[in-house]
Structure 1
Amino acid sequence: MNEPITPASRIASKEKFRKTVRQFVSITRAFFKSERRVKARGLLILLVVLSVAYTGIIVVISYAGRDLMTAIERKNTHGYWEAIGRYAITFVAAVLINVYYRWTQETLALLWREWLTQHLIKRYFNNRAYYRLRGSESIDNPDQRISEDVRNFTADSLTYALMLVQSVMTLIGFFGVLWGISGLLVGVALIYAAFGTFMCIVIGRRLVSLQYDKYQKEADMRYGLVRIRDNAESIAFYRGEKREHRDLIHRLSAIVGNMRTIIFWNRNLGFFRNSYNYLALILPILIVAPMFMNGSKPFGVVTQTIESFAQVLGAVSLVANNFEDLSTYLAGVQRLGILWDDLDEFDAEEERSARESQQQIEEVGNAVRLCKLTVLTPDKAKVLAKELTFELNPNQSLMIMGPSGSGKSSVLRTIAGLWTGGVGALERPALQHLMFLPQRPYMIPGSLRDQLRYPDHDCSADDDTIRRVVEQVNLTDVLNRVEGDLDRVIDWTNILSLGEQQRVSFARLFLRRPKFAFLDEATSALDEDNQKRLYQLVRESGIGFISVGHRETLVQFHEHILRLESVGGWVLRRHEELPVESETSRQTGV
Structure 2
Amino acid sequence: MVIYQVGLIPSQFYGVLSEKNHSKFQELVVFAVLLILLNSTLKSVEQYVCGLLYVSWRTSLTEDLHRDYFWGRVYYTLNVLRKDIDNPDQRISQDAERLCKQLSTMASRIVISPFTVSYYTYQCYSSTGWTGLLSIFGYFVLGTIVNKILMGPIVSALIEQEKLEGDFRFKHMQIRVNAESAAFYRAGKVEHMRTDRRLHTLLHTQKKLINKELWLYMGVNLFDYLGSILSYVVIAIPIFAGVYDGMTPGELSALVSKNAFVCIYLINCFTQLIDLSTTLSDVAGYTHRIGELREVMNDVGRQQYDYDPVLRETNDFKRDTGSSETAFVLDRLSFKSPVSEEPLVKDLSLRICQGSHLLLVGNTGTGKTSLLRVLNHLWEPSSGSFEMTTCFGPRGILFLPQKPYLTDGTLREQVIYPLKDIYPAAGSVDDERILQYLELAGLSNLVKRTGGLDEKVDWNWYDVLSPGEMQRLCFARLFYLQPKYAVLDEASSALSEEAEDQLYRVCKHLGMTLISLGHRSTLRKHHDVMLRLCGGGQWELTKLKMD
TM, length-normalised to structure 1 = 0.80
Deviations 1:319-357 (Å, cap 9, x if unpaired)?
Answer: 5323323222221222222223333334434433369x9
Measure the CA separation in 1 of the matches of 2:507 and 2:411: 22
Q: Within the alignment, does 1:175 sit opposite 2:121 as a pair?
A: yes
The corresponding residue for 2:334 is 374
Report the counterpart of residue 462 of structure 1 in structure 2: 430
Shift of 1:245: 0.7
Pair 1:134-2:103 in alignment: no
Structure 2 counterpart of 1:188, from 135, 147, 166: 135
Q: Does 1:426 align with 2:387?
A: yes
Which residues in structure 2 correspond to 1:44-193 (within 5 Å)? 56-73=1-18, 84=29, 86-135=31-80, 136-180=82-126, 181-193=128-140
Q: Any idea what the Cα deviations from partners look like across 1:15-71, whole Å, max 9, x if unmatched?
A: xxxxxxxxxxxxxxxxxxxxxxxxxxxxxxxxxxxxxxxxx2223333454444344
Distance in 1 between the 2:196 and 2:438 partners? 45
Report what 2:289 is aligned to. Answer: 335
What's the counterpart of residue 309 of structure 1?
Answer: 263
Write the letter of the residue equivalent to 2:345. A
Residues 1:533 and 2:497 aligned together: no
Which among 210, 218, 232 is matched to residue 157 of structure 2?
210
Report the CA distance shift for 1:272/1:395 in structure 2 as closer, same or farther (over 3 A). same
Is it true that 1:396 corresponds to 2:356 in the alignment? yes
CA contact (8 A) 1:371 1:389 kept: yes
CA distance in 1, matches of 2:423, 2:472: 18
| Alpha-carbon spacing, 1:525–1:290, altered in 2? closer, same or farther (3 Å) | same
Q: Check 1:384–1:134 CA distance in 2 against 1; reply closer, same or farther (3 A cut).
A: same
Trace 1:359-508 onto structure 2 (pairs within 5 A).
365-367=324-326, 368-378=328-338, 381-423=341-383, 424-432=385-393, 433-456=396-419, 457-458=421-422, 462-479=430-447, 481=449, 485-488=452-455, 489=457, 491-508=460-477
2:248 is matched with: none
Amino acid at match of 1:335: R
1:81–1:173 Cα change, 3 Å: farther
Letter in 1 for 2:292: I
SS of residue paired to 2:364: coil
Whether contact under 8 Å (2:5, 2:35) holds in the other structure is yes
Using the size of structure 2 for normalisation, the TM-score is 0.86
Instruction: State the shift of 1:408 in Å.
Output: 0.7
CA distance in 2, matches of 1:106, 1:271: 29
CA distance in structure 1 between the aligned counterparts of 2:131 and 2:522, rounded to whole angstroms: 94
Structure 1 residue 491, shift from structure 2 partner: 4.0
% identical aligned pairs: 28
Deviations 1:381-412 (A, max 9, x none): 44322232111111221111122111111111
Q: SS where residue 98 of structure 1 aligns?
A: helix
Relative to structure 1, is the Cα distance of residues 280 and 330 closer, same or farther in structure 2, using a 3 angstrom cutoff? same
Q: Distance in 1 between matches of 2:236 and 2:25?
A: 23
Cα shift at 1:236? 0.8
| Deviation of the 1:78 alpha carbon | 6.8
Aligned-pair CA distance for 1:268:
2.7
Equivalent-residue separation in structure 1 for 2:49 and 2:224 (angstroms): 31
SS of residue matched to 1:396:
coil
Counterpart of 1:326 in structure 2 is 280
- Alpha-carbon distance change, 270 to 149 in structure 1, aligned in 2, over 3 angstroms: closer
- Which letter maps to 2:439? E
For 1:156 and 1:486, the matched residues in 2 are separated by 43
Q: Cα deviations across residues 162-220 of structure 1 (Å, max 9, x unaligned)? A: 21222211210111122121312222212222222222222232221222222222222
User: Which structure 2 residue ranges, 5 or more long, are not aligned?
Assistant: 245-251
For 1:2-41, list aligned pairs within 5 A.
none
Provide the alpha-carbon RMSD of the alignment: 2.9
CA distance in 1, matches of 2:242, 2:509: 106
Deviates more, 1:205-214 or 1:250-259: 205-214
After TM superposition, give the deviation of residue 550 of structure 1 in Å: 2.0
Q: Which amino acid aligns with 1:173?
A: Y
162-171 or 374-383, larger mean C-alpha shift:
374-383
How far off its partner does 1:508 sit? 1.0
In structure 2, relative to structure 1, the CA distance for the partners of 1:155 and 1:482 (3 Å cut) is closer
Q: Which amino acid letter does the alignment assign opposite residue 413 of structure 1?
A: R
Partner AA of 1:371 in structure 2: D
1:3 equivalent in structure 2: none
CA distance in 1, matches of 2:524, 2:331: 24
Structure 1: give runs of 5+ residues left out of the alignment.
1-55, 578-590
- SS of the equivalent of 1:126 reads coil
What residue is the counterpart of 1:561 in the other structure?
530
CA deviation profile, 1:151-171 (whole Å, cap 9, x unmatched): 222232232132122221121
Give the C-alpha shift of residue 444 in structure 1.
2.5
Query: Which deviates further from its counterpart, 463-472 or 528-537?
Result: 463-472
Contact 1:126/1:346 (<8 A) preserved = no
Matched with 2:172 is 225
CA contact (8 A) 1:142 1:339 kept: yes
Aligned partners of 1:178, 1:221: CA distance in 2, in Å? 52
For 1:411-458, what per-residue CA distance to the aligned partner results, in whole angstroms no more than 9, with x for missing partners? 111111222355423223111222111222112333333322222353
Aligned length: 516
The CA distance in 2 between the partners of 1:76 and 1:294, in whole Å, is 32
Q: 1:529, 1:340 → 2: CA distance?
A: 49
